[in-house]
Structure 1
Amino acid sequence: MASSTSEQRNPLVPVEYTKGVNGLDKVILRGLRGVSAEMYLYGAHVTSWKNEHKQELLFVSNKAIFKPPKPIRGGISICFPQFDTLGYVGAHGYARNRVWSVDPNPPPLPMTSPTNSYVDLLLKPSEEDLKIWPHSYEFRLRISLGPGGELLLTSRVRNIDSKPFSFTFAYHTYFSVSDVSEVRVEGLETLDYLDNTKNRERFTEQGDAITFEGEVDKVYLSTPSKIAILDHERKRTYVIRKDGLLDAVVWNPWDKKAKALADFGDNEYKHMLCVEAAAIERPITLKPCEEWTGRQEISTVPSSYCSGQLDPQKVLMGN
């Protein structure tokens, strides 16, 4: 999925505007020590996040279709104004199927910000969008690389309509993992969840961590601000920090559903896991002129292996 202009990239430029697959507009961010991220204006979709060792941290399917109106399979997509399939907007909303623009008037960075590797994207509803979801808004998305290589996404949705509206939301994030059957998710134990494989029936998580032996499609409710994904084989822990997003989705299609997806390899489910910061159970309601902010920061730390379990102590108990 390399860009057609990959040979001309300048590693000294923190933000580069270029062309990607099928000539789609793409933005490349470069941070300290060789960390990088890439996103497409189509869907404001993050398709790559690499650490200082040039290792890819996000999963994008080898069968992903980079051709509108099909959403890109993998990376990080924006689910807005609806996450579920229950309403009339459609599964995961339409923001991931629209071409966003570069925001000409972005909010200023804090004076203390240590990075200039960021881009601000903007989405406003078209006339066709208003027929699908009849509400006027401005959606501003800032994607940036932090000084430690972390990837930050900050969404701001402002109601510019004359009446209130409500929406649900998620950062649909696909993490690259060595083998999903060897991965643990910690920070969601003892919480209630809605099981989408069982008609959204409500259960309480019983294990001391979430492990994977088959299809998982759960919406965890009232979740903490920090969640960890522990990958034993790679001795890597992903840390998800979130603000303004009470829920968390955990998803892996497993073998049968993977084979039913045209834009997903039959065995690719083994090497991906979605853990998504979200607002689903209680929709966000904005009055006219009100603004909501939702933030996700993802980072990685080395993790040790001890007594059959990865030690998450410094991840979930740290700052």
Structure 2
Amino acid sequence: MWVIDDNPPPLPGNDSTRKTSVDLLLKSSGAEMKSWPHSFEFRLRVSLGTDGDLSLISRVRNVNGKPFTFSFAYHTYLLVSDISEIRIEGLETLDYLDNLSQKERVTEQGDAITFESEVDRVYLSSPNIIAVLDHERKRTFLIRKEGLPDVAVWNPWEKKSKAMTDLGVGEYKHMVCVDGAVIEKPVNLKPGKEWTGRLHLSFVPSSFCSERLGL
């Protein structure tokens, strides 16, 4: 169970005061230790800016007596007008693991990622800024990340979505998952050490040109 952390330790670097934030804390419990026998503290700061920007900062501390290893991914589900009409820029030419083909390693060939069927991939060693262009809504989501070298991209498409209790009929058309992640090279955390991952989500009008961000 998460609890609200009323006295969180300070974060390194600048953190804008024009945000409303909540700090959550998760500690390993007896039940969890049976399936994952490592003691940890997981702090999550969720911040919403006055401009609507959303920031997530995760901090995992090893309070165990020995190192442990973990993978990590934010599950950022984005509401889009039509999955068939969106583009993801910033991942072109990268290698990815295709979870629909037993994690086969493939090199992306397109000038952007588009969707015509189910997609379940992990793009490796990705840039820290990704753009999700939604032409119909005339806006572009910008995903900025730190400490998260990989990006998972997922849409279950029609057949698989029918078996999912949290997706209604046809709702797969209006969502896409683009997750900052640590997958290929899991974090190895020594006793007393802390890992930090950050994700910042914002959007701009569709007239935005991704070249300005060096994508």
User: Normalization by structure 1: what TM-score?
Assistant: 0.65
CA distance in 2, matches of 1:111, 1:131: 38
CA distance in 1, matches of 2:15, 2:195: 23
Q: 1:261 Cα deviation (Å)? A: 1.1
Question: How many residues were matched structurally?
Answer: 214
SS class of match (1:166): strand
Q: Which residue does the alignment assign to 2:54?
A: 151
SS class of match (1:172): coil
CA distance in 1, matches of 2:142, 2:14: 26
Aligned CA-pair RMSD: 1.6
1:313 and 2:211 equivalent?
A: yes
Alignment map for 1:278-293 (pairs within 5 Å): 278-293=181-196
1:102 and 2:29 equivalent?
A: no
CA distance in 1, matches of 2:103, 2:39: 30
Deviations 1:249-305 (A, max 9, x none): 00000000011112211210100000000001111011000000000000000012x
SS class of match (1:257): helix
CA distance in 2, matches of 1:169, 1:243: 13
Which structure has more RCO (C-alpha within 8 Å, separation ≥ 6)? 2
Alignment map for 1:159-170 (pairs within 5 Å): 159-170=62-73
Letter in 2 for 1:122: L
Deviations 1:10-68 (A, max 9, x none): xxxxxxxxxxxxxxxxxxxxxxxxxxxxxxxxxxxxxxxxxxxxxxxxxxxxxxxxxxx
Q: 1:108 Cα deviation (Å)? A: 3.6
Q: 1:313 Cα deviation (Å)? A: 2.7
Q: 1:146 Cα deviation (Å)? A: 2.9
SS class of match (2:178): strand
Letter in 1 for 2:211: Q
CA distance in 2, matches of 1:111, 1:177: 31
Q: 1:112 Cα deviation (Å)? A: 6.8
SS class of match (1:149): coil
CA distance in 2, matches of 1:207, 1:138: 41
Q: Which residue does the alignment assign to 1:171?
A: 74
Identity percentage over the alignment?
63
Q: 1:229 Cα deviation (Å)? A: 0.0
Unpaired segments of 5 or more residues in structure 1?
Answer: 1-98, 305-309
1:255 and 2:153 equivalent?
A: no
Deviations 1:218-252 (A, max 9, x none): 00000000000000001100000000000000000
Letter in 1 for 2:214: M
Alignment map for 1:226-237 (pairs within 5 Å): 226-237=129-140
Q: Which protein is richer in strand relative to its size?
A: 2
Alpha carbons of structure 1 residues 284 and 112: separation in structure 2 relative to 1, 3 Å: closer
CA distance in 1, matches of 2:209, 2:58: 32
Alpha carbons of structure 1 residues 116 and 312: separation in structure 2 relative to 1, 3 Å: closer
CA distance in 1, matches of 2:177, 2:15: 32
CA distance in 1, matches of 2:87, 2:107: 17
Letter in 2 for 1:317: G
